A and B are shown apart, each in its own frame.
Chain A
Amino acid sequence: MTEAGVEQKLSSGTNAPSIKMKGEKVSVHYGEKRALFDVDLDVRENQVTALIGPSGCGKSTFLRCLNRMNDTIDIARVSGKITLDGEDVYDPKIDVVELRARVGMVFQKPNPFPKSIYENVAYGPRIHGLARSKSELDGIVESSLKKAGLFNEVKDRLLESGTGLSGGQQQRLCIARAIAVSPEVILMDEPCSALDPIATARVEELIDELRQNYTIVIVTHSMQQAARVSQRTAMFHLGYLVEEGATDKMFTNPDDKRTQDYITGRFG
């Protein structure tokens, strides 16, 4: 752990989880349009941080800054500072490939590769050289699928196409694919928006289990989901971070009127 990380751990008290990622004055421009205004937000280790807010409020934009997925958009420009364990992720010395291996991502729409279930999970470990032998790779695939709660459903058809699974299974496959590279942080961009309630419940359970080993940031439109799975919640509105705090407090006694209104369904 870096010095800054240690400092933060000390300053935040003995019981409070340490800060895994930290955003300071993060602003994003898409061309002329400014999408994010000086957001300061901490992501704590082994906790689920939920980002909520109405559509177009900048929560997904912030999420995509954390593993530099915004780099793929030509017109996007990020300013401010985002650190992972105290290291600036936008530092030119940081390799974006390494960053994305450490900060994995699960997308809104399940997007398995049009390859076999096995290949979907094995692809990450293979490109990062995480397995030295076929049996080791098999082990990673199996444990990842188990962690994602999918193994029992697909163990007999690992060589069938990943796109042949149901929507919920596909999303869990994507989660398995993300955890197969052993990331430290998993970013989830509305992972349940394309799923039915039963599949959603399974993914939420999974998120809760994954919290033991990973730090999770989740963007969601569902207040209930944020309340159910997260420990901390951040409310965005029109590109500004309105309020951030423990989920319990946010949903019972928010400081900001806008949060209150949004949570109770008065706008958004």
Chain B
Amino acid sequence: MTDAISSFGAVGRPVSIHTDGAAKARLKGRYRTETWFKWLGAGAVALAGLFLVLLLSTIVTQAIPALRQNYLTLPIDLSAAKVDPAKLDEVNYDAIAQEALAARFPDVTSRQDRRLLRGLISTGTGVFLRKDIAADPGMLGGTVDYAVPVDDFADLYLKGLLADVGSDEAISTSVTPSKTSGDIDLTFGDDAMLALARGRGATEGENGMLTLTSGASSLLVVFNGGTVKLTALWPGPSGTAVAKGTVIEALDSTAPAASGQAFLRVIDTPEASRKISDKEIVWLDTLKSAGQIESRFNSIFFFTGASREPELAGVWGAVVGSFLTMIVTLAIAFPIGVSAAIYLEEFAPKNRLTTIIEVNINNLAAVPSIVFGLLGLAVFLNFFGMPRSAPVVGGMVLALMTLPIIIIASRASLRAVPPSIREAALGIGASKAQTVFHHVLPLAMPGIMTGTILGMAHALGETAPLLMIGMVAFIVDIPGGFTDPATILPVQIFMWADFPEAGFQQKTSAAILILLLFLVIMNAIAVILRRRFERRW
């Protein structure tokens, strides 16, 4: 045996071509390639996962603040003197709410400040109040505590998104005010405040004068039941410090506050680089500490239509628009697509004409979606004169776009049904149509449904074709039917992303989250249907 092998190896080969050194090296090389591939694959998956997590966490963290909205509870006077029950439509409800707010801050007297104060509550307050009174006339006749949504900037501030506000720190020296309101002087027991102001961006002047401009952090001294904003500081006699300040909330008295009785509140973000003034911050903080501000689930966002005011803007109109559009798309694309697929796959003769049709259907799937929008504009709107911005037209355009996807998916799943099933049915005398509808189609259905749902999900996320047919319009009302003007979720996201107001940033992310949720639900349905109806043969 050994002789035989070694005689074979006499031509220069060792014992066996599968066990010699070169073979071992080749084998090692093969395993190395495999290992490389495995690691590369795992790396690609990990990278993709990382990006997905990054994307989702960004959107989710951005979106979370939009899920809640702050409400300010005000005692609103709805007595007959203010609201005539017989003429509910003629009442200026906004004015009533604003009066209630003004009454809460009697010190605010200047026109400018009063306007600023009014801006704390949403401009939609009057509308909410009127609706609620119409729904519950029992509110009339007296003063009721009514929660109104706060304005978008106030809301953002309360959510901590506009300015960094430090907690109140006790001042370890005495503070003596010169007056209780207006521009006043404050005398501090020691000069610690000077060093603090320097560290907070105060501008150094002559004789140790420190000026706190709007480019520096705001220093607020809270004592004697009021708040004073410091504007300038300088060293006083015998180690004290003197400050000039503006009273934002009137002090109770000019009595000196003992050490530890006054508090310093620092707003790190300089007033110039935030969209909310010190005054507003102080008012809001006062309201908050009085328990008048409450964070609630943002039902406005989920259940109302679009608005130019961030705190009043909701996605419901877009959700309903998307839903109506999808119904039209499904109702058109599914039956036509599946019928076309069945005809082409099972009945059509295989000739030049059907080949051309097939190639063109495949090409149609690759046509940029905006072209379908142009087609919709030219044919449905201009030629047939259908309504602009309507879900029915949007649905038709998206149906055109989805058709090739459904046809291709349906044909693939029809083709995947084994020929043995067809032969079995034909062999016992089933007609062509019976074979297709009793046996082939049921088996292809999971694949067809999966393809359809994925096509629909694709259509749901489509913006471009709908821009062409006017679904990008600013539509406040929630669409009530297929011909009402409507917009859809992706277009709504597109529009919000374009608005400059900071409040829309969170809304945009939240709307993206809702769209993603829709897509996840649709894909989950696709998976469930496939699992459920998948049959083995």
Interface of A toward B, CB cutoff 8 Å: 67, 69, 72, 74, 97-101, 104-107, 109, 111-114, 123-124, 127-128, 163, 174, 177-178, 180-181
Q: Are B426 and A181 interface neighbours, CB within 8 A?
A: no
Q: Are A163 and B536 interface neighbours, CB within 8 A?
A: yes
State which of A67, A105, A111, A127 has its C-beta within 8 Å of the C-beta of B434. Answer: A127
A-B CB contacts (within 8 Å), total count: 73
Q: Are B424 and A69 interface neighbours, CB within 8 A?
A: no
Which A residues are in CB contact (< 8 Å) with B418?
A: 111
Which B residues are in CB contact (< 8 Å) with A113?
A: 421, 424-425, 439
CB-nearest residue of chain A to B427: A105
Which B residues are in CB contact (< 8 Å) with A72?
A: 422-423, 426
Which A residues are in CB contact (< 8 Å) with B423?
A: 69, 72, 105, 107, 111
The answer to whether B430 has its CB under 8 Å from any CB of chain A is yes
Interface of B toward A, CB cutoff 8 Å: 349-350, 418, 420-431, 434, 438-439, 443, 535-537
Cβ distance B361 to chain A, nearest Cβ, rounded Å:
20
List 15 interface pairs A-B (beta carbons < 8 Å), by A numbering: A98-B429, A100-B427, A105-B427, A105-B428, A107-B423, A109-B420, A111-B421, A113-B439, A114-B421, A114-B535, A114-B537, A123-B425, A124-B429, A127-B430, A127-B431
Q: Are A112 and B424 interface neighbours, CB within 8 A?
A: yes
Which B residues are in CB contact (< 8 Å) with A69?
A: 423, 426-427
Select the residue from B424, B428, B431 with max chain A CB neighbours within 10 A: B428
Q: Are A107 and B427 interface neighbours, CB within 8 A?
A: yes
Cβ distance A127 to chain B, nearest Cβ, rounded Å:
6
Q: Are A128 and B429 interface neighbours, CB within 8 A?
A: yes
CB-nearest residue of chain A to B431: A97
Which A residues are in CB contact (< 8 Å) with B431?
A: 97, 127
CB-nearest residue of chain B to A109: B420
Distance between Cα atoms of A99 and B427 in the complex (Å): 10
Select the residue from B420, B426, B429, B430 with max chain A CB neighbours within 10 A: B429
Distance between Cα atoms of A104 and B427 in the complex (Å): 6
Cβ distance B187 to chain A, nearest Cβ, rounded Å:
93
Q: Binding site of B, secondary structure by majority: helix, strand, loop or mixed?
A: helix
- 10 closest A-B pairs by CB: A101-B429, A105-B427, A111-B420, A100-B429, A124-B428, A114-B535, A111-B424, A114-B537, A97-B429, A97-B431
CB-nearest residue of chain A to B349: A74
Which A residues are in CB contact (< 8 Å) with B438?
A: 123, 127
CB-nearest residue of chain B to A72: B426
Q: Are B425 and A178 interface neighbours, CB within 8 A?
A: no
Distance between Cα atoms of A98 and B535 in the complex (Å): 30
Cβ distance B135 to chain A, nearest Cβ, rounded Å:
56
Which B residues are in CB contact (< 8 Å) with A128?
A: 429
Q: Are B443 and A100 interface neighbours, CB within 8 A?
A: no
Distance between Cα atoms of A123 and B425 in the complex (Å): 9
Q: Are B424 and A107 interface neighbours, CB within 8 A?
A: yes
Cβ distance A232 to chain B, nearest Cβ, rounded Å:
23
Cβ distance A11 to chain B, nearest Cβ, rounded Å:
31
Which B residues are in CB contact (< 8 Å) with A67?
A: 427
Cβ distance A144 to chain B, nearest Cβ, rounded Å:
11
CB-nearest residue of chain B to A71: B426
Q: Are A123 and B428 interface neighbours, CB within 8 A?
A: yes
Distance between Cα atoms of A174 and B420 in the complex (Å): 12
Distance between Cα atoms of A146 and B286 in the complex (Å): 90
Cβ distance A45 to chain B, nearest Cβ, rounded Å:
20
Which A residues are in CB contact (< 8 Å) with B536?
A: 114, 163
Distance between Cα atoms of A114 and B446 in the complex (Å): 14
Cβ distance A142 to chain B, nearest Cβ, rounded Å:
18
Which B residues are in CB contact (< 8 Å) with A112?
A: 424
Q: Knowing A72-B423, A107-B423, A111-B420, say if A100 contacts B350 (CB, 8 Å).
A: no
CB-nearest residue of chain B to A181: B428
Distance between Cα atoms of A69 and B419 in the complex (Å): 12
Cβ distance A133 to chain B, nearest Cβ, rounded Å:
21
CB-nearest residue of chain A to B424: A111
CB-nearest residue of chain A to B443: A114
Which B residues are in CB contact (< 8 Å) with A123?
A: 425, 428, 430, 438
Q: Are B428 and A101 interface neighbours, CB within 8 A?
A: yes
Which B residues are in CB contact (< 8 Å) with A124?
A: 428-430
Cβ distance B139 to chain A, nearest Cβ, rounded Å:
64
Distance between Cα atoms of A106 and B421 in the complex (Å): 12
Q: Are A181 and B429 interface neighbours, CB within 8 A?
A: yes
Which A residues are in CB contact (< 8 Å) with B349?
A: 74
Which B residues are in CB contact (< 8 Å) with A99?
A: 429
Distance between Cα atoms of A127 and B438 in the complex (Å): 10
Q: Knowing A113-B439, A114-B537, A127-B430, say if A74 contacts B424 (CB, 8 Å).
A: no
Distance between Cα atoms of A169 and B422 in the complex (Å): 20
Which B residues are in CB contact (< 8 Å) with A74?
A: 349-350
Cβ distance B383 to chain A, nearest Cβ, rounded Å:
40
Distance between Cα atoms of A1 and B411 in the complex (Å): 45
Distance between Cα atoms of A113 and B428 in the complex (Å): 12
Q: Are B427 and A97 interface neighbours, CB within 8 A?
A: no
Q: Are A100 and B537 interface neighbours, CB within 8 A?
A: no
Which A residues are in CB contact (< 8 Å) with B430?
A: 97, 123-124, 127
Besides A72-B426, A111-B418, A114-B443, 14 other CB < 8 A contacts? A100-B427, A101-B429, A105-B427, A105-B428, A109-B420, A111-B423, A111-B424, A113-B421, A113-B425, A114-B537, A123-B425, A127-B434, A174-B424, A181-B428
Which B residues are in CB contact (< 8 Å) with A100?
A: 426-429
Cβ distance A121 to chain B, nearest Cβ, rounded Å:
10
Which A residues are in CB contact (< 8 Å) with B420?
A: 107, 109, 111
Cβ distance A100 to chain B, nearest Cβ, rounded Å:
4
Distance between Cα atoms of A128 and B426 in the complex (Å): 12
Select the residue from A69, A101, A111 with max chain B CB neighbours within 10 A: A111
State which of A109, A114, A163, A177 has its C-beta within 8 Å of the C-beta of B428. Answer: A177
Cβ distance B344 to chain A, nearest Cβ, rounded Å:
14
Which A residues are in CB contact (< 8 Å) with B422?
A: 72
Which B residues are in CB contact (< 8 Å) with A107?
A: 420, 423-424, 427
Q: Are A127 and B429 interface neighbours, CB within 8 A?
A: yes
CB-nearest residue of chain A to B350: A74
CB-nearest residue of chain B to A124: B428
Select the residue from B420, B422, B426, B439 with max chain A CB neighbours within 10 A: B426
Q: Are A178 and B427 interface neighbours, CB within 8 A?
A: yes
Cβ distance A145 to chain B, nearest Cβ, rounded Å:
15
Q: Are B428 and A104 interface neighbours, CB within 8 A?
A: yes
Cβ distance A161 to chain B, nearest Cβ, rounded Å:
8
Distance between Cα atoms of A249 and B428 in the complex (Å): 34
State which of A105, A163, A181 has its C-beta within 8 Å of the C-beta of B537. Answer: A163
Distance between Cα atoms of A44 and B349 in the complex (Å): 37
Distance between Cα atoms of A98 and B420 in the complex (Å): 20
